[in-house]
Amino acid sequence: MKVSLIIDGNYLLYKSVFILKKLRSIKTDLNDLLVRELMKLSKSFSYDNVYFVSDPKEGTWRKQAYKEYKGTREKDDTIDWDFVYSTYKEFKENVRAKRNVKYLELPGLEGDDLIAHIVRENNKKEHSCVIVGSDGDLRQLLEFDLNKKYINIQWNYKFSDQRLYLPENYQLVIDELSGTVNENIFELDNSSEFINFLETLIQQTKIQTVTTEEIAVTKMIQGDSGDNIPTCVKCKNGKMNPEGRGIGKDGAVTVYKLYKEIHPATIQVDSDEFIDNLSDVIIYYKKIKDSTAKMKIMEQLKFNRMMMVLNPDYMPKITYENMKKHYNDVENMNIGYEVEDLESKLEEDDFFKEPEPELPEQFMVEDDGEEFDPDSFWDL
């Protein structure tokens, strides 16, 4: 069984800055903490591939399509962002030089786009994926296939209050790999080690199961306030009204469930028939009597789908081609190995010294109940 680790580099940075801000030690500890976090994650399991993905400094295709994209975010002006940016840039250059990490960053593309492509390409090769990050959009990628023997999970890795997002019915995969369904189905591979790793994560974190279909549909309905993407409709007294009430998270889930009662088949999110049917359910749910509402709701649903559903069909063709080429270039990169004096190298790396604690005491923060939300914390 092959397993790949995919790290959202921006999340790693957000989290580190958030922690060190509380300790008032950003300028002294940021780089060290980033290095330790990357090392700890990379060694959390014997991964076949480790990917590090970062957002570009330049604008993305979503920003070009919608100038207001992420336009409402505000930075914390108590933080020296010039220092943070320069430290992160230097850290990324060091990551790029590592032989055991595949670094991906491309102008015009958000990290989410690259992560989605990496996951899909790995799944084609029957590789499971462990995604480290907190972005809700990434939960669209959480699925499994018993025939191809892979599962994708999202690990919201933190010092405390860790969360693990799993595809619905994930236990089927554990049963299959554990041999409780078909004994010794995956002989001579590391399936048992991965199951032990997964079960340990489940025990140590708060878990939540998700349905990729529901994630995509509800996001299209409710929009995303963090990214400044509007809800699909606002109405008042049965009529469309920009000052009226939209549909929030709970309402979007209600609409999704109502839709499934009427249309129980698997939803084809990219289908215009689906958009047509969904708009009818929304009109019913909101009790809209405006005859012009349906066309406007359909237009907003299509726009939200383009902005939030991680499907290459919704990005510009040239952007998708550039993404494929960038991924293939990284995958096919030839790595040269030099003959080294191993003992000297190990001494250089302090291999023979007593290991330090995994997390230095200065990075320990008492859990004060404040939840880390990278979307509202800062925008790289």
Return left, alpha or beta for 164; rule: phi > 0 is left, psi -120 to 50 is alpha, else beta.
Answer: beta
Task: Tell me the H-state helices in 49-110.
Answer: 61-65, 81-97
Q: Mind listing the pLDDT tens digit of every residue in the chain (380 residues)?
A: 899 999 999 999 989 999 999 999 999 999 999 999 999 999 999 999 999 999 998 889 999 999 999 888 788 889 999 999 999 999 999 999 998 999 999 999 999 999 999 999 999 999 999 999 999 999 999 999 999 989 999 999 875 678 999 999 999 998 888 774 455 444 446 788 999 999 999 999 999 999 999 999 999 999 999 899 999 999 999 999 999 999 999 999 999 999 999 999 999 999 999 999 999 999 999 999 988 899 999 999 999 999 999 999 999 999 999 999 999 999 998 544 344 454 555 555 554 455 554 555 555 555 555 555 655 554 44
CA-nearest of 139, 161, 142 to 151 is 142
pLDDT at 338: 42
d(CA 37, CA 30) in angstroms, rounded, equals 11
206 phi and psi angles, rounded to 5 deg: -85, 125
Would the CA dihedral through 306, 307, 312, 317 be positive or negative?
positive
Q: Are 312 and 323 in contact (CB under 8 A)?
A: yes
Please state which architecture CATH assigns to domain 2-210+336-363.
3-Layer(aba) Sandwich (3.40)
Name the token pair of 323: 């993404």
How many residues belong to the chain? 380
Dihedral (Cα; 132, 136, 141, 145), 10-degree rounding: 90
Q: Are 256 and 218 in contact (CB under 8 A)?
A: yes
pTM of the model: 0.86
Indicate the domain borders of the chain. 2-210+336-363, 213-308
Per-residue pLDDT tens over the stretch 181-233:
455 444 446 788 999 999 999 999 999 999 999 999 999 999 999 899 999 99
